[in-house]
């Protein structure tokens, strides 16, 4: 079973496997008109947006829900699944779909990918709305709270992270049920479907090891500030969707973002954790609909 089986109620959306860099990327598309591209993060897939996008359908919008490479129903090529790999694949996907100008909506690691796409091709991005994503390198492990520090140190420890994510399926079987309120057994099955084997979960582990802490990984620690600086220079409308308490974007992160992105708009969607599209789909859809209209 794949996530395809759980999209049957999305009658308006058509699945397509797009050839990209020697593999395929799954896209769910509905509508015609101005392209709006949705990018998820770890450990989710386009399934994350299922409660949001039906409320955004309109005669002047083409909604494109992307499964990142190695995730969802996209291909699982033998690559490292570093942030730069994902950026390259999304960049090539937009070329393959012949989308010269898009509105981007992103969550979690999709945020870093979206900002990198804006950095590479500012002419391609009409607007960017984002939520709960890391955009600044962390100076050290003290930047985490105690629980997060212990968790991510273990995930980055060779052998320990493999046991947690590949063998024990930590992200799907432990993190998601704990982080998303009211997740049903069927919904959890849909999230788990793309990752039935230890090796299929390797992209999830790699994401945990891409968070830049004390300059490591060096490429990510360099890339993120450059992407944010490029966004500050560009004349592209930027929207931060703020949830409280959230998990990644708290008051300190909001202050950092508004300080580095002077033209940033901030919209509140109320109480939610990290997975905003799951916790607050209605308010999120309202905010995004208004954003895309204006």
| Residues acting as catalytic residues | 108, 132, 274
3-state secondary structure (DSSP) of residue 108? coil
Distance of alpha carbon 10 from alpha carbon 63, whole angstroms: 12
- Stated as kind and residue range, the H or E segment containing 225 is helix 218-233
- For residue 226 the two structure tokens come to 């450059």
Q: Are 235 and 123 in contact (CB under 8 A)?
A: no
Peptide bond preceding 217 in cis form (omega within 30 of 0): yes
Backbone angles phi, psi at 62, to 5 degrees: -115, 105
Question: What separation in angstroms does the CA of 96 have from each of 20, 108, 174, 187, 208?
Answer: 7, 24, 36, 30, 29
Peptide bond preceding 237 in cis form (omega within 30 of 0): no
**Chain Cα centroid distance, residue 12:** 22
Residue where the block lists tokens 């998303």 = 180
3-state secondary structure (DSSP) of residue 78? coil
Q: How many CB atoms lie within 10 A of CB 1?
A: 11
Distance of alpha carbon 201 from alpha carbon 224, whole angstroms: 25
Lay out the sheet containing 61-66: strands in order across: 14-20, 23-30, 61-66, 34-39, 102-107, 125-131, 238-245, 265-272
Q: Are 170 and 159 in contact (CB under 8 A)?
A: no
């Amino acid at each position: 079973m794949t996530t395809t089986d759980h999209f049957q109620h999305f009658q308006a959306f058509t699945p397509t496997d797009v050839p990209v860099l020697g593999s395929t990327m799954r896209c769910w598309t509905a509508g015609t008109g101005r392209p709006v591209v949705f990018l998820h993060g770890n450990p989710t897939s386009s399934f994350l947006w299922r409660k949001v996008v039906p409320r955004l359908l309109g005669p002047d919008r083409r909604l494109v829900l992307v499964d990142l490479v190695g995730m969802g129903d996209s291909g699982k090529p033998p690559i490292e699944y570093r942030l730069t790999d994902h950026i390259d694949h999304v960049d090539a996907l937009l070329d393959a779909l012949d989308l010269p100008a898009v509105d981007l909506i992103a969550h979690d690691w999709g945020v870093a990918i979206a900002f990198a796409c804006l950095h590479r091709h500012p002419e391609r991005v009409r607007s960017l709305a984002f939520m709960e994503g890391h955009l600044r390198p962390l100076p050290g492990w003290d930047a985490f709270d105690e629980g997060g520090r212990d968790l991510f140190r273990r995930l980055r420890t060779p052998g320990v992270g493999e046991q947690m994510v590949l063998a024990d399926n930590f992200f799907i079987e432990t993190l998601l049920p704990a982080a998303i309120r009211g997740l049903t057994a069927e919904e959890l099955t849909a999230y788990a479907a793309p990752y039935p084997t230890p090796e299929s979960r390797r992209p999830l582990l790699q994401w945990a090891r891409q968070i830049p802490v004390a300059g490591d990984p060096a490429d990510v620690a360099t890339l993120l500030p450059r992407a944010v600086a490029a966004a500050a220079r560009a004349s592209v409308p930027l929207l931060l969707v703020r949830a409280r308490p959230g998990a990644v974007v708290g008051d300190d992160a909001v202050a950092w973002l508004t300080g580095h992105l002077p033209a940033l708009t901030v919209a509140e969607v109320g109480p939610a954790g990290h997975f905003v599209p799951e916790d607050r789909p209605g308010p999120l859809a309202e905010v995004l609909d208004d954003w895309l209209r204006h």
